[in-house]
Amino acid sequence: MTDASNDSKQLLHLVFGGELESLEGHEFRDPSKIDIVGVFPNYATAHTAWKSKAQMTVDNAHMRYFIVHLHRFLDPA
């Protein structure tokens, strides 16, 4: 049985992206041009934002967007 307070627990996620140096790596071509999409209160809204940005840049194979689970950095347990 799940605790109702855990169901509404805020789990912050960061969505960001930019153009990568190569398709095989994760180094950005120009880190000063990283697009910070935003911080979202849960994975579902972060995923929606990520998907929207990824679809907008589908013509550029080097453009990648990522979701970072900030709540794991804030509370690693």
CATH number at residue 59: 3.30.70.2400
Nearby residues of 48 by Cβ (< 8 Å), 6 or more positions away: none
Q: Does the residue 1 lie in any domain?
A: no
Q: Does the residue 42 lie in any domain?
A: yes
Summarize pLDDT for 15-59 with one digit per residue, the tens.
Answer: 999 999 999 999 999 999 999 999 999 999 999 999 999 999 999
* Domain count within the chain: 1
Q: Return the DSSP state at 59.
A: T
pTM: 0.82
Name the 3-class secondary structure at 13: strand
Query: Structural domain of residue 27, as residue ranges?
Result: 9-74
Res 4: pLDDT: 40
> In the structure encoding, which two tokens stand for residue 10, read together?
């805020």
With contact defined as beta carbons under 8 Å apart, do 37 and 17 qualify? yes
